A and B are shown apart, each in its own frame.
Chain A
Amino acid sequence: MQDAAADPHELTRAMNRAAFLLVGGALLGYVGAYRDRSRQRLAQLVAWPGPDRTPSASPPITSALAHAAALLRAPRVLVVWEQPEEPFRHVALFADGGVRHAREPAARFGSLVASGQADRTFLADLSIPPDPKHETARLIDPDLCATFRIRKALSAPFRRDLCRGRIFILDPASTSDDNLLLVDLIAGRLGVDLEHYLLRHQIETATALRERERLGRDLHDGLLQSLAAASIQLKLIAGRADHRVRAGVEETRALLAEEQKRIRRFVDDHRTPTTFGTEATPLEAVGQRLQELGRQWRCEVAFDTAPADLSVPPALALHVRHLLSEAVSNAVRHGSASRIQIAITRSDETLFIRVRDNGGGFRGLSGLYKDEDLKVLDVGPNSLRSRVLDLGGTVRLETSPAGALIDVTLPL
C-alpha cells in the first residue's frame, strides 16, 4: 500500500474535495437562508393589514404604509396619487409612525418620474451624480425630490380605474432586485386599498345624500303634517272643552308646536345644498339657537365669539350648531349643569370651540383626556366626538366633579 503523504496528487485531490464540500455547504447554507428570508418576507407581505380600522377623514392607509416601511426597513414611505376626474394630487408621507396627508394641484410634481419610466419599477440613487447624456438622468421629478428630501428611493407605480399613482420607499436599508419585486407588489396592494376606499366613499356619499333626502321628505310629508293636523284638532277640542281640560290640551299643543319647530328646522337644515360655498355665515344665528336651547333645557347659556362677527363657511355653521346643541344637551342631561359657557375663536385654518359647564362632569372620568385617550378608552362625549371626527377635527376633555371642559378644533 502506498503512503498518501508520499503521493502529492492524492493530497491535492483530498484538499480539492474538502474545498468543494466547504463551498457546496456554504452555498447550500446561503440558499437555505435566502429561502427562509424570502419565505418570511412573503409571509409578511401576505399579512398586509389592509385599510385602517379607526375612522378618519383621511385615506385609511397608515397601517399599510407602516407595514411597507417595516417590510423594506425604510424610515419613510411616500405615496402620490390622483383620481382621473379630480384636479388634485394626493400626497401621503409616512414617517415616525404617522402619516401626513396633503393635497396639491394636479400639475405639481410634473409626471412624477422621467418619461419612459412611468410604468416601471426602479431604484433611484441621487447620491450618484446623474449622467446628463443619459435619457433618464433625472428619474424623479426635481420638485418632488426637493420637497421630500429624496436621496435614495425604490419606486413602483399603481394604476386602477379610480386612482393611479406611485409609491416611493425612501432610504431603504437594502436595494436588491428582490426588493424591487416587493415594491411592485406593495404598490399593487396599495392601489387596491385606495380604490376600495374611494369606492366606499362614493357609495357612502351617495347613500347619505339619498338618506338625507328620504329623511327630509318623510319628515316633511309625514310627521310634520300629522303634527300640524293634531295641533289643529287639539285647538278645536280646546275650544269646546271646559276650563280645566282646555289648560291641559293647550299645554299639549304647546309641546307639539315645539316639536314641529324642531323638526321643521331639521328639514330646512338638511335640504340638498344649492348654494355656493364661499359665502361666509356669521355665527350670530348660533347664539340665537343657544338661547332657545337654554330655555328648553332650563339652563343659562353664555355665548361668545372672537371676533364678535366671526364667520365660517355655511356648511360648517350648520355643523357647529348641531355640535353645540349636543354639547348643551349632554351638559344638562348627564352633568346636570345649570350654567354653560361657550366660546368660539378661529385662526386662518382652524375653528376653536370651548364648552365649559358647572355640572358634575362625566361619570367615572376625572382629569384630562386627549382625542387619542377618548378614542382608545371609548369614553366621553361619543356622539359629539364622532361628529367632530367626520369633520376632520379633534376633541379634548377635561372633567371633574366641579364640571366639564370640552375643547373642539375643526379644520376650516
Chain B
Amino acid sequence: MTTPPSSCRVVLADDHPVVLSGLESLIASDSRCTVVAACRDGAAALEAIRTLRPNLAVLDIVMPVLNGLEVLEQIRATGLPSRVVFLTASASDEHMARAVLLGAWGLLLKETAADQLLECLAAVVNGQRWLPPDLIDPAVRREAARRAEAERITGSLTSRERELVLLATEGLSNKDIARRLGVTEGTVKIHLHNIYQKLGVTNRTAMTALALPHRDKFKP
C-alpha cells in the first residue's frame, strides 16, 4: 500500500450531504490527509479548487450547476494542478469513457469507497492512476463499439433519410414532413421503413429515442 504524503489536501464535492459527511469523516480518519473544502455542487468545487489549490479533488460525476466532468474540463483548461478522482454511485459507459479521455486520475464506485478510497488517494498523490481495468476497460470498449456502430449506421442512411430522422425528432407528423420535403406521405413512409430497418427499430418512439442523443450525426 502506498502512503499519502502529509501534505495531501483534498477538495470534496458531492450533492448528497449524507455521503459528503461520510467521505469527510473517512478521509479525516487518515491523519495524513486534510479535507480543505466539502462542496455540494460542481461550481462551488471549482471555486474551491481555484482558490485552495488542493493536491486532489474528489468529485461525484452527477452534480448540480456543473457536473464532475465539466469541472475536470475547467481544471484542464485553466491549467490547475489538482488531480481529479471521480467517485460515483453508478456511471454510464459514456461518462466513464469521457472521464478517462479528459484525464481523470482515478475512478471509483461509491460501493467500494469505504475500502478503497484512502488507498486510491494515496496512489494518485504518488503519481499512479487509479482506473480499475475491470471497471473501465469494458465500459470504454462498449462505448467505442457503440460509437463506431452509431457512425456506421448513420453513415448508411442517405442524406434524405438523415433529414427525415431530424424532422421526426422535432415532432413533425408524416404529413408535415412530406410538406417540408416536398414529397408525398407515401414516400415519407417508404423512407421511414428503410430507416427502421437500418437502425434496427420497430417504431417511431424507438427511432426518436435513438436519434436524439446523436442529433449532430444526422445533420447534413
Contacts and interface: CB of A to CB of B under 8 A. Distances in A.
The dominant DSSP class at the A interface is: helix
A138 interface: no
Contacts of A107: 186, 189-190
Contacts of A277: 199-201, 206, 210
B153 interface: yes
B115 A229 contact: no
A296 B114 CA distance: 22
Contact of A227 (B25, B111, B189, B205): B111
B202 to A, nearest CB: 9
A197 B2 CA distance: 63
A145 interface: no
B1 interface: no
Interface string A221-241: 100111111011111100100
Interface stretch (B13-21, B49-57, B76-84): B13-21
Contact of A235 (B62, B114, B174, B199): B114
Interface string A261-275: 100100110011111
Contacts of B200: 276-278, 313
B110 A233 contact: no
Given A228-B89, A278-B200, A86 B146 contact: no
Given A86-B203, A86-B204, A231-B114, A226 B18 contact: yes
Interface in B117-161: 145-146, 149-150, 153
Contact of A232 (B113, B149, B196, B201): B113
B150 A276 contact: yes
The dominant DSSP class at the B interface is: helix
B28 to A, nearest CB: 9
A275 B192 contact: no
A85 interface: yes
Interface residues of A, number: 41
A87 B89 contact: no
Given A221-B16, A236-B26, A106 B189 contact: yes
A257 interface: yes
Contacts of B203: 86
Contacts of B153: 276, 278
B22 A233 contact: yes
A228 B113 contact: yes
Contacts of A86: 189, 192, 203-204
Given A105-B193, A107-B190, A274-B209, A225 B199 contact: no
Given A224-B89, A232-B23, A232-B25, 16 more contacts: A86-B189, A87-B191, A105-B190, A106-B190, A224-B111, A225-B16, A228-B111, A232-B19, A235-B114, A236-B25, A239-B29, A261-B111, A274-B214, A276-B210, A277-B206, A279-B149
Interface of B: 16, 18-19, 21-23, 25-26, 29, 62, 89-90, 92, 109-115, 145-146, 149-150, 153, 173-175, 185-186, 188-193, 196, 199-201, 203-206, 209-210, 212-214
7 contacts: A86-B203, A228-B110, A229-B22, A231-B114, A232-B114, A264-B89, A276-B200
